Amino acid sequence: MTVWVALLRAVNLGARNRVPMGELRTRLAEVGLPGARTLLQSGNVVVESELDVAALIRSVLRDNFGVDQPVMLRSRDRLDEIIAANPFPAAARDRPTMLRVTFLAELPSAEQVQALESHEDVRLHDHEVYIDYRDQGHGNPIATTTASRQSARNGTERNWSTVLKLAALARSV
């Protein structure tokens, strides 16, 4: 069976889109995804299944919590490839919370790719955008670029520390 990492977009943002992780695990078991594990409260789920995991999770979120957002799904093996492809190894080592990966639901347009690649601290690799925020996330010129915001609407961002924790959790399944 395949081990999947599901990255949920826009859950538990302050008072908006509240999704208690314990209740989410219970609802996932009810629809055929028993043994789902969650990491943090920001919408990270690891599950082993051959079912259509993204569709099941999205329907659980919509039907039980009123959250209708895309679910970015990566296999355990793909997550390992994403980690290996990191173009910013120094940032991963020295400031892992400032290195972020945006997991995209779909590939960005040619215009978005051009805008993303105009920043020396941004690299696109397949369906992931690596961003080295260096010293600040909020208020950083990269974070406020139109291309970065547009691509994030079709994806969800995690810091490098969380990516590594998700990979470790996926390997433990």
Q: Report the 3 state secondary structure along 113-140.
A: HHHHHCCCCEEEECCEEEEECCCCCCCC
pLDDT at 166 over 70: yes
pLDDT at 99 over 80: yes
Query: With 90 as the cut, is the pLDDT of residue 147 above it?
Result: no
Q: Can you tell me the distance from the alpha carbon of 81 to that of 26, in angstroms, rounded to the nearest whole number?
A: 30
pLDDT tens, residue by residue, 120-142: 888 999 999 999 988 765 545 56
Q: What is the pTM of this model?
A: 0.89
SS3 per residue for the chain: CEEEEEEECCCCECCECCCCHHHHHHHHHHCCCCCCEEECCCCEEEEEECCCHHHHHHHHHHHHHCCCCCEEEEEHHHHHHHHHCCCCHHHHHHCCCCEEEEEECCCCCHHHHHHHHCCCCEEEECCEEEEECCCCCCCCCCCCCHHHHHHHHCEEEEEHHHHHHHHHHHHCC
Between 80 and 157, name the one with better pLDDT. Answer: 80
**All domains in the chain, ordered by first residue:** 2-77 (3.30.70.1280), 78-171 (3.30.70)
For residue 78, give both structure tokens: 């793909």
Mean pLDDT rounded to a whole number for the chain: 88
57-77 average pLDDT score: 94
Decide if 131 contacts 122 (C-beta within 8 A).
yes
DSSP H or E stretch at residue 26 = helix 21-30
User: At residue 118, does pLDDT exceed 90?
Assistant: no
